[in-house]
Structure 1
């Protein structure tokens, strides 16, 4: 089974466990995000969705994104106002750490438990209750570095 199929199957199972519906439109939007090679904006999602659903409108995409975000299936890349699939859907309270290439736009999610723990400890010391956190790191990916030389 491909990684794409695994993520979609995992999302379906989590929805069933949680008693929420992964409608065909939500699943299609999720599939588009999962298949995207880089973070994708809501309007780019809409363009791809319209290839199979010409009647799709912006609210369709935004409602699907709200659902996918609330279920932890996707992450919003705040700095570029775009979305990527979570590589660990269903993993409770993980800190999303994103490596964002400013040259090609590629976004890779990574996990450093020590960073997450350190952020949580600092927040606790400050009396701050974290609801979620995303760490975005901008730079140049390995492929773009090689291409420049």
Structure 2
């Protein structure tokens, strides 16, 4: 996949991220009685191969390079499964996907997205979610889902500048 080099840490080993994500997915699927197919597994591995959001067509290209011959609808079904089960998130502004730091937990996605290197970091903040829900409620609006995407420059890129 064509992704710029990860900026924050040269020593970070994504194998641990991938192993943790796969273990969480296997556990979740076992508990819910869901099938964790080889394609779903591979798509999850590819999404977690970096902390940079990845697009569906980049995933598709990688799967084709591996001679898995997946068609776009198949990849999108795998992505939908992973989203529905809280294993990945969709970054709307980038039309891309990133691994979930809190797999299987009910939470809202808040992301810091670096405009320099493209890395994204998921935050957990019930306070932010509560503030938004309360503001919406005062206007008679019931918030069903929310994702907050904040763009800026990460610490690694700021140090490099």
> What TM-score does the superposition give when structure 1 sets the normalisation length?
0.90
The Cα offsets for residues 41-73 of structure 1, whole Å up to 9 and x where unpaired, read as: 001111222232341221121111111111111
Q: How does 1:10-89 map to 2 (within 5 A)?
A: 10-89=24-103
Larger RCO, structure (CA 8 Å, separation 6 or more): 2
Q: What's the RMSD between the two structures over aligned residues?
A: 1.6
**Which of the pair is proportionally richer in helix?**
1
Displacement of 1:23 in angstroms is 0.9
Residues matched between the structures, number: 147
The Cα offsets for residues 6-48 of structure 1, whole Å up to 9 and x where unpaired, read as: 2211111111212221111011101110122311000111122
Residue 112 of structure 1 is matched in structure 2 by: 125
* Cα distance in 2, alignment partners of residues 128 and 21 from structure 1: 36
Please, which runs of 5 or more residues in structure 2 have no aligned partner? Answer: 1-14
Residue 139 of structure 2 is matched in structure 1 by: 126
- Tell me which stretches of 4 or more aligned residues in structure 1 moved more than 4 Å: none
Residue 7 of structure 2 is matched in structure 1 by: none
Please, which runs of 5 or more residues in structure 1 have no aligned partner? Answer: none
